[in-house]
Every structure is written in C-alpha cells, then in structure tokens.
Structure 1
Amino acid sequence: MKVDTDLARFSSHGKLENNVEVYDGMVYSSSLKRNIKLVLPKFNKGNRMGHALLYSTDIYLEAMTLLRYYKARFQIEFLFRDAKQYTGLVHCQFLRKEAINMQVNASEL
C-alpha cells in the first residue's frame, strides 16, 4: 500500500508516554477499494524519525483504540510464537485428538 505520509493530511492526537506522536486520517485504499482509517505513530529511532502505518476498515474507530488493538494483537502473536517455539508443539504432526493431547502433555515446559 502506498501512502503519502505528509502530516498536513493527518490530524494530531498528541503524544504517548514514550514521546510517540500519534496522527490519524482517512485515506482511500485502492487494493481494498474502500476508505480506511490510517493511524501514523511517529517515534525517535536513534537520530532519525521512524513511523508505522496501522489501519482499520472501521473508519469511525478512535486512533488510540486502534493502537491498543494492534498492541494486544502483537502480544498475542508473540505468545503463540513463543509457545510453539519453546514447547515443541511445532513438531507435532498428529491428526487424532488423543494423539495431540498426548503430545501437548508430553511437550517440554
């Protein structure tokens, strides 16, 4: 997705506790063929400014709510990644319910 990140197109929502400036706006996504809510957090990355593009198809969603949703989503994904990586569940290839149950109970904890 290509987005012009000129801040004149976005409205400011202030700063978070770690000096992250938050901007949001509504843009048209040609790949989704609809308007989307775009949240642009800008942060210091060493001596440069970094940013991320977070979006939702719910154009009425508050910017801070969208940030909380993304934060929760990544915490959940890291939990699943760590669970698969450190418990050996990635190596399970069983199809029967009983065999999967045995693999989970026998996995390293």
Structure 2
Amino acid sequence: MADEQKEGTVILTPSKETDNLWQNVATFADNTDYVKELQDGKSRGLFVFSNRYDGIDLPDSSCRLLIISGLPFGSSEYEQHRANTFAGGSEFSSALAQPIEQCMGRGA
C-alpha cells in the first residue's frame, strides 16, 4: 500500500532473530545501500532494518510509514541482566525510551 503511494516504508526490529516475522513480506536491509535507495527515491521499501535505531536519516517521503516491531533490548548479557533487574524502574524506562525516540526520528 505504501509502495503504491510512493511513500517509503521501513520496519525496525531489535535484532536479526526478530526479523523472521517479516521474512515473507519485506527485504532485509543488511547494508547501507538500502538507506541510499530510500533517500534517493529509487525504492520505497518495504525494508527491515535490524537494530538500527540511530544513524539513519530518511527525510521527506523516504520514510512515511515506520513500523517498530518489538521493543529494543540490550545486546550484551549485562544489559539484559539490567533490563530484567530494573524492569519498570525509571532508569530502565529512560533507557528503553531513547531508542524508541530514535526510531520515531527516522520518519520525522
């Protein structure tokens, strides 16, 4: 639907393991060539970016539909331990909010 409208569509997932939900629907963007295609208007997706909450600039119509599939989580054992220990606390909530804000910035 977004492709028919010529609007960029991006799905952000927390890891490659969580990409399986989208394997029959989208292209897995495993390098920066896909970002360039969106920016240049050569393609409108549907692209899945794993754990790319920051560092991608998709201005104007290069990203008009953003799907955040799954919450970001720590990649190291220490970060996962902290997430389990402090779940529901303000520090954990702030740490979780930052990558979500980065996600929203991709389409802003």
TM-score (norm 2): 0.21
More strand by share: 1
**Larger CA Rg, structure 1 vs 2:** 1
